[in-house]
Structure 1
Amino acid sequence: MPEAPISPSINYLRNDSSLHRLMLELLEKADIRIGGDRPWDLQLNGPGLPERVFAQGNLGLGEAYMEGLWDAPQLDEFFHRLLAAHLDQHVQPLRLIFHGLRTRLVNLQSFRRAWQVGEAHYDLGNDFYAAMLDPRMTYTCGYWNKAATLAEAQEAKLDMICRKLKLEPGMRLLDIGCGWGSLMGFAAEHYGVECIGVTISKEQAAWAKQRYAGLPLEFRLQDYREVEGQFDRIASVGMFEHVGRKNHRTFMEVAHRCLADDGLFLLHTIGKNMRHSTPDPWIDRYIFPNGDLPSAGQIGDAADNLFVVEDLHNFGADYDRTLMAWYENFELSWPRFSDELGERFYRMWRYYLLSCAGAFRARDIQLWQWVMSKEGVPGGYSRVVM
């Protein structure tokens, strides 16, 4: 009788090396099998994956995926299981130590370098992002408490921010890192405020100026460190992740300088669980150059003696659902962009969206909204009922 066919994944692991055995053992801790038949199991399409993973960590894993050397049908669940089992803590290549030292010693988000993420990521093209995001082009976590669609979740988030800031007609709102202007447009339309927004993306500024023409909004292509003036309210939604630990204090000083004495400041940011951690090298190289997720302690240090923390709200689990909605839109619209962007970009973007969804599902990273005041709200800040 002919022998039963052997899984290609097993063939690629027919090696007695300690790295191959260690990879099998680690994945077993997360209930992930190589060559298994479950949607989160890893399928090998070529040799050399263990060597790349243990030499380069997630950089090697991600680049190998972009090259087609491995797959997992349900990539989000693969990462959920991998991170929930803390397997990333078992893989600490030497080169990651130097990556971490570079983050600690060099200001990777200096005034000159700060524009790199705009050019590399946000200026991909407004048509591409319009196909993936909601109609307002809101590229941050939605709030899904009572929402059934991505558009509803994003409008619920925008309204929640406006209510937390206690916006009133005639107020001036500064949006630091305004993106495509979704918060500014919503606040002007529904709360009657005037807004100034700053962004480092030419594509975002051009789209927002056209989309919200006729509203009392001003969009500036400007680094946050250059902002001047006084504002009744300040918001920063999904931008603090690009500020960097060496600039956290400077950012808070800018917000303090620009906020009226009786004003409120809302900071919406992804956050990490550990203070002394290293930015993901794959995300840094391919998605968000010079990104650096803050810890709660780092944010507290930066705000020390500048702000009173009035409220802190974590709804990081909602980012999982937001990312999966973006991924669904991306897949549906991909035929429009495939010839221009190519298969390698497709695999890169798929890896980005689904690995991040898995990370939020595992609660490996968080989404916080901080509400702060300069001197404390007299009588106390009343929390918005969600």
Structure 2
Amino acid sequence: MTSEQRIGPIALPDSRARRVLESLLAGSGVTLNGDAPWDPQIFHPDFCSRILRQGSLGLGESYMDGWWECEHIDELACRLLAHGLGERARPASDRLMYRLQAGLINLQSKARAYIVGEAHYDLGNDLFERMLDPTMCYSCGYWKQADNLHDAQLAKLELACRKLDLHPGMRVLDIGCGWGSFAEYAARRHGVAVTGITISREQAELARQRCAGLPVEIELKDYRDLEGCFDRIVSIGMFEHVGHRNYSAYFETIEHVLAENGLFLLHTIGSNNSEISVDPWIDRYIFPNGVLPSARHIAEASEGLLLMEDWQNFGPDYDRTLMAWRDNFDVHWPEIADRYSERTRRMFRYYLSVCAGAFRARDIQLWQVVFSRKRPTRYDAPR
């Protein structure tokens, strides 16, 4: 059913599925076909049974299919997660299957490393250029003293540079360099030479264009193939793709290529617990094979290799960042609508909104962690 065919939400049939779903929602402040801006308006009679059968996957797919609409999906997601429906929205069979699969197969092996690049980051630079700000940062901004997205992203880049104590002439490695936002900023503002690696061909091409004329080299490379020695290493928004079976190899690589007195900054989304699980909708449509690390995962994988100097959490800033991206996406969508489907538009709106709600509910976090190779002097992290 298309939006042009809709007149209004349907009267949901009195079914067992509806009663079960309404009992799960009781106390969350969410009402099916309710009057609040976070209440979903239902357009398909099988909505309730589909959600009970497929959980969060069904919720996301049914939105993409036009089965329901909601003025503030972000607040809907926040209320559902705050009510404890996050894990309950993932069928036990799906969670078990993922654990079995992750136990038998390295889902983030070198052979599979380029899957997420092809599926998400290579979707189209024109789309991301309109969704992001001019820095092309596709990670959380730092809103402490910022009141707009661009300033928040510049503040994040400068914060990372100050934490790394950059000086002109340093050799810097950017693991997961994206469209070259940090590489360009650090080279231009701090006079360092940067080697950036990415597994996305589209990102690499645009990053090279953006960094033309600067001491920046962009390579299409997996982190496990790194060699050389770098004074500083930064990884912003990439560790989420490493996978729990590769955390040790990741930190061993960092230790191998980091100079004796070097610093490493890890910027990553983090999970509140150490259970190896994924949201099935995000896994299928946005970040295939992505998995969020816990604090324990990071601490255990780095132990004996690097010294943890500082840990900062500014997860609530990702809520504002995602909402700003969604606003940009909505405003500029007409410019690219002829190149993408309506289903893609709904997929991105849902993704940005649901993730904003997850950070708002403090269901997931954003961490910046600074490591050294047993730095002999005191480290004072800037804020």
Q: TM-score range by the shorter chain?
A: over 0.9
Which residue in the other structure is 1:187 paired with?
Answer: 186
Contact kept in structure 2, 1:10 and 1:34, CA below 8 Å? no
* Equivalent residues of 2:10, 2:43 under 8 A apart: no
CA offsets 1:128-165 (integer angstroms, 9 cap, x no match)? 11111111111000000111111100000000000000
1:210 partnered with 2:214: no
Unaligned stretches of 5+ in structure 2? 1-6
Q: Give runs of aligned pairs for residues 121-132 of structure 1, distance below 5 A.
A: 121-132=120-131
- Quick one: which amino acid aligns to residue 291 of structure 1? G
Q: Distance in 1 between matches of 2:72 and 2:138?
A: 23
Equivalent AA in structure 2 for residue 284 of structure 1: D
How far is the alpha carbon of 1:253 from its aligned partner? 0.6
* Alpha-carbon distance between aligned partners in 2 of 1:55 and 1:277, rounded to the nearest angstrom: 22
Q: TM-score, normalised by structure 2?
A: 0.96
CA distance in 2, matches of 1:379, 1:147: 32
Q: 1:378 to 1:185 in 2, by over 3 A?
A: same
Distance in structure 1 (CA, Å) of the matches to 2:52 and 2:308: 41
Look up the match of 2:297: 298
- Give CA-to-partner distance per residue, 1:350-377, whole Å, 9 cap, x none: 11000000000000000000000111x2
2:66 maps to which residue?
68
Flag the 1:206–1:162 CA change in 2: closer, same or farther, 3 A. Answer: same
Shift of the alpha carbon at 1:28? 2.1
Are 1:257 and 2:259 matched, yes or no? Answer: no
> Alpha-carbon deviations, 1:275-334, whole Å to 9, x = none?
014111100100011101111111111101001110000001000000000000000111
2: distance between equivalents of 1:336 and 1:100? Answer: 42
Cα 1:10–1:338 change in 2 (3 A) is closer
Q: Find the residue that maps to 1:96 and give its secondary structure.
A: helix
For residue 260 of structure 1, give the secondary structure of its aligned residue in structure 2: strand
Equivalent residue, structure 2, for 1:4: none
Whether 1:337 aligns to 2:336 is: yes
Distance in 1, Cα, partners of 2:247 & 2:13? 45
Q: Is residue 222 of structure 2 the alignment partner of residue 223 of structure 1?
A: yes
SS in 2 for 1:57: helix
Kindly, what percent of the aligned residue pairs are identical? 53
Which residue in 2 is equivalent to 1:271? Answer: 270
> TM-score normalized by structure 1?
0.95
8 Å CA contact 2:108, 2:243 repeated in 1:
yes
CA–CA distance in structure 2, aligned partners of residues 89 and 257 of structure 1: 38
Match of residue 11 from structure 2: 11
Letter in 2 for 1:165: L
The question of whether the paired residues in 2 share the 8 Å contact of 1:173 and 1:196 is answered with: yes
User: Are 1:99 and 1:281, in contact at CA under 8 Å, matched by a contact in 2?
Assistant: no
AA of the residue aligned to 1:330: F
Matches within 5 A, 1:38-49: 38-49=36-47
Distance of aligned partners of 1:125 and 1:361 in 2 relative to their CA distance in 1, 3 Å threshold = same
Instruction: Provide the aligned length of Structure 1 versus Structure 2.
Output: 376
Provide the rounded CA distance (Å) in 2 between the counterparts of 1:154 and 1:210. 20
Shift of 1:211: 1.3
**C-alpha deviation, 1:340, in angstroms:** 1.8
Pairwise CA distance, 1:8: 6.6
Match of 2:4 in 1: none
CA distance in 1, matches of 2:243, 2:274: 13
The separation in 1 between residues aligned to 2:191 and 2:302, in whole angstroms, is: 29
For the residues of structure 2 that align with 1:214 and 1:53, how far apart are their CA atoms? 52
Deviates more, 1:88-97 or 1:208-217: 88-97
**What letter is aligned with 1:250?**
A
CA contact (8 A) 1:100 1:279 kept: no
Residue of structure 2 in register with 1:327 after alignment = 326
1:342 Cα deviation from its structure 2 partner:
1.4
1:92 is displaced (CA, Å) by: 4.2
- Corresponding residue for residue 3 of structure 1: none
CA shift for structure 1 position 36: 0.7
CA contact (8 A) 2:276 2:291 kept: no
Q: Unaligned stretches of 5+ in structure 1?
A: 1-6
* Whole-angstrom CA distance in 1 between matches of 2:119 and 2:88: 31
Superimposed CA distance per residue, residues 105-135 of structure 1 (whole angstroms, 9 cap, x where no aligned partner): 3211111111011111111121111111111
Give the alignment's Cα RMSD to 1 decimal: 1.3
